[in-house]
Structure 1
Amino acid sequence: MTKSVKTILVGIGATGSIDCFTYLISLFGKTPRGILFVGRWLAYMPKGQFMHHTIIESQSIVNELLIGQIAHYGIGIAFAFLLVKLYGKMWLKTPKLGPALTIAIITLVPPLFILQPALGFGIAFSNMPQQGLLILKTSFIHVIYGIGLYLTAIAINRINNGPIKFKKIH
């Protein structure tokens, strides 16, 4: 398997770990709308609108959730490539949790300082009630992504290297 294919799979797996987590959260009645808002924001861009008073007040756009999901996975894959670029292809062969969590922290910069202001929520949710809680939730989701990078790389290596062989104990 090539380095690029492995990296794409790692990005998909890590992004999927966020989706699994948010699905579990939704079972308790909390429906995260971040992907929907990203899709709506991106769908407004061809119309020349990059900033919103608040994205919640902006009218829905057809396929905004699909657009958001495609962007979500594309960004997840892009950050997986950043991980491999910064730590080398050896990380793919022998993944370590530290570099994956470092990337998870780096991935907090765009949503807090670019996306949230563009959505009308302010820098790091400064225009929102419960700013601290929103930052904490966002941070936790990005840590899930970092753990997903690490665990997906391990899983790919296990699959790539064949079944696990157990030694007999004498």
Structure 2
Amino acid sequence: MVVEIMVLGVGATLSMDLWALLRRRWFGVASLDYGWVGRWLGHMRHGQFRHAAIAKAAPLRGERLLGWGFHYLTGLLFAAAFLAWGGQAWLQRPALLPALLFGVVTVAAPLLVMQPAFGMGMAARRTPKPWLVRQRALLTHLVFGLGLYLSGAALAWLG
């Protein structure tokens, strides 16, 4: 099951990253700076879990690498949770709807944990356009779900 978790987690997270790249090129929409994620994590060791504005918090050495590593670790943990829920049967016959629904569930992480910790408020309520931020987060996490499905279909196809 470890290999399957790795393939699903990395595949789904890569799908999100590809979506972010395409969104930036086609629509000029910036994606999350994973350096901020690393900055947030790095400040935790000093007891600071929330920031008024993460972009204004003191930068930390290696924050970008830490943030990107955490991004992929999160993808792996989400994949493990998905397989714990969907089980071996889903791996043998991947279905799109459960993967998309799980992607929707994962949007709780940025809306309820990261955005408040970054100073954006619960579900981005302190941003200039909270509904736009929420919509983009939902779409990105639906792409994560699509990536789960595509990675699962590839695994099933390969045998």
Q: Normalising by the residue count of structure 2, what TM-score does the alignment of the two structures yield?
A: 0.93
- Measure, in 2, the Cα distance between the counterparts of 1:132 and 1:56: 21
SS at match of 1:56: helix
Mapping for residues 1-170 of structure 1, pairs under 5 Å: 3-28=1-26, 29-159=28-158, 161=159
SS at match of 2:59: coil
More helix by percentage: 2
- Measure, in 2, the Cα distance between the counterparts of 1:33 and 1:147: 19
The structure with the largest alpha-carbon Rg is 1
- Measure, in 2, the Cα distance between the counterparts of 1:33 and 1:101: 21
- Measure, in 1, the Cα distance between the counterparts of 2:12 and 2:94: 13
- Measure, in 2, the Cα distance between the counterparts of 1:88 and 1:143: 20
- CA shift, 1:125, in A, is 0.4
- Measure, in 1, the Cα distance between the counterparts of 2:149 and 2:33: 23
SS at match of 1:62: coil
- Measure, in 1, the Cα distance between the counterparts of 2:147 and 2:84: 18
- Measure, in 2, the Cα distance between the counterparts of 1:119 and 1:87: 32
Greater Cα shift, 12-21 or 29-38: 29-38
Query: Considering only aligned residues, what root-mean-square deviation do their CA atoms show, in Å?
Result: 1.3
- CA shift, 1:27, in A, is 2.5
- CA shift, 1:33, in A, is 2.7
- Measure, in 1, the Cα distance between the counterparts of 2:90 and 2:110: 26
- CA shift, 1:89, in A, is 1.1
Count of paired positions? 158
Structure 1 residue runs of 4 or more that deviate by more than 6 Å after TM superposition: none
Q: Normalising by the residue count of structure 1, what TM-score does the alignment of the two structures yield?
A: 0.88
- Measure, in 2, the Cα distance between the counterparts of 1:76 and 1:113: 17
Encode CA deviations 1:76-131: one digit per residue, 9 max, x unaligned.
11111111111111111111111111211110112111111111100000111000
> Which amino acid is 1:67 matched to?
L
- Measure, in 1, the Cα distance between the counterparts of 2:122 and 2:137: 13
- CA shift, 1:34, in A, is 4.0
Q: Which runs of 5+ in 2 are unaligned?
A: none
